[in-house]
Amino acid sequence: MEEFDLDRTTEVGWAAFLSRLADHLGTAREPLVMTPMGGEDDHLPVLEVTPGAGGDDALLHAELRGPGEDPWPEEARTRHLLSLGWTPAPGGTAYLLDLPRSHAHLLAAVVTDTLRDVVGVPHPAFLDAGALTIAAPTEAEPEEPAPPPQVDLDTAVMVRTPAELRELVDTTLHAALGHPPRHDHDGDVPILYGSALVYVRTADAAPVVTVFAIPVQDIGDLEAARREVEIFNRRAIFGKFTLVGRQIVASVAVPCLPFVPRHLVGMVELMGREIDQLDEDLALRVQGRRWIDLVSGTGPAGAPPTQPVVRAVDVAPPAAPEAEPPAELQTLVQLQLDAEGGDLEPALVADVCHRDRDLILRLIRMAEDQTLRWRSGVGRARAAGDADGARSAGDQVRAWARTVRNLRAALRHVVTFGGSAEG
């Protein structure tokens, strides 16, 4: 039996909560009150997010109140709140943060960080969060899934509105997959095809359905990637390949005037089959990783993941990197070493990352991934009785966590003061 990984489970739980919270804040009309479970209500901190504060529906107002309305103690938690962007209210009994609804995901990240590191909630399961509260499992009999609809793949249907097109796409995919399609937080439908993950996106501005996939991410050799994209585009008949940041994206647009189910099903199968055949070799040629490598924590073709810039002992995954970490991440790690454990100025980190939001988000994910791996290394070292190894791995956990914190502060700085939104 596979050993239960508490750290990994906790990280996955908080990541899922952050995603659900962002979706909720993007459309909520009523206040959301969050408190830790257990204890007396008047002795618990309260975090409340109120949409439409001051009559402005586009504004989200967050307020963190101390236990019993007492002032927050001047300690490390207070400094952490300030670094996250909270502002102390008069009297010091609460902290305030206002962001536009368009930045709901950023506010969700700040709230999640606050609940974890300031309030001290160990897992979202211990959080009373209204509609987002994790319900206890029940033993109710599962409902029988609805049978797939019968669809004539060759019947053309005229589309008049985006809603009609989305319904036709969902019905077609339900019939083709044998189960209702699942939509991610962007509204896309992910479909697994071998080692390929294909997405179906319905446009609102035009009667077009886009089928796309990301064969390779975290590319180390950008020059090789540009050559590969040029070669693929010379050979491609229907779709096109694009280098976006450190990702290669394959896409094809399916016109839907009229909508023909077979066109959509055929393009999904074509995209899945092609990407499933080429992604492994492509990842090796450009020194990148497939999505399945990122999920499993390996590199291309089963190679070990990218090595952290700073290593202490071999309690984390062995170092045989296929690609160096991005230069921006290496620079931040070196600056943190020079800062001797202190946090970097958000403006400095933003400049290192070219004020590129997509790049900052990608580096946050990479640093979070390294944090998880080194936490696993702490557990392995402790299980082996290696006190020095556990201590060194713990230092790495704290260093990568500081990198995540600095990058998040830089993201808030770019969102607040401006920067590039393109990857």
Examine the domain organization and report whether 64 and 106 are in the same domain: yes
Examine the domain organization and report whether 236 and 198 are in the same domain: yes
Amino acid making up residue 219: I
Examine the domain organization and report whether 342 and 394 are in the same domain: yes
Which of 264, 291, 318 is at the close of a domain?
A: 291
267 within domain boundaries: yes
247 phi/psi in degrees, rounded to 5 = -125, 145
Examine the domain organization and report whether 340 and 231 are in the same domain: no
300 within domain boundaries: no
Which of 291, 317, 336 is at the close of a domain?
A: 291
Domain limits for position 95: 6-132
248 within domain boundaries: yes
For the question of whether the overall pTM of this predicted structure is more than 0.95, the answer is no
Examine the domain organization and report whether 189 and 271 are in the same domain: yes
pLDDT of residue 311: 30
Residue 80 pLDDT more than 90? no
Say which range, 20-29, 39-48, 115-124, has the weakest mean pLDDT: 39-48
Q: What is the pLDDT of residues 146-164, one digit of tens each?
A: 678 888 989 999 998 888 9
Query: Can you tell me the distance from the alpha carbon of 136 to that of 114, in angstroms, rounded to the nearest whole number?
Result: 24
247 within domain boundaries: yes
193 within domain boundaries: yes
Examine the domain organization and report whether 30 and 120 are in the same domain: yes
Where residue 212 sits, what CATH number does that domain have?
A: 3.30.1460.10
Examine the domain organization and report whether 31 and 104 are in the same domain: yes
- Per residue in 186-210, is it b (16+ CB within 10 Å) or e — as a string? eebbebebebbbbbbbbeeeebebb
Examine the domain organization and report whether 94 and 188 are in the same domain: no
- Quote the distance between the C-alpha of residue 201 and its chain's center: 18
Number of structural domains (the chain) is 3
- Range picked from 53-57, 116-120, 347-351, 385-389 for highest mean pLDDT: 347-351
145 within domain boundaries: no
**pLDDT confidence bin for 134, thresholds 50/70/90:** confident
Examine the domain organization and report whether 248 and 172 are in the same domain: yes
Which of 113, 132, 151 is at the close of a domain?
A: 132
Examine the domain organization and report whether 113 and 22 are in the same domain: yes
152 within domain boundaries: no
349 within domain boundaries: yes
DSSP codes, 318-338: ----SSPPPHHHHHHHHHHHH
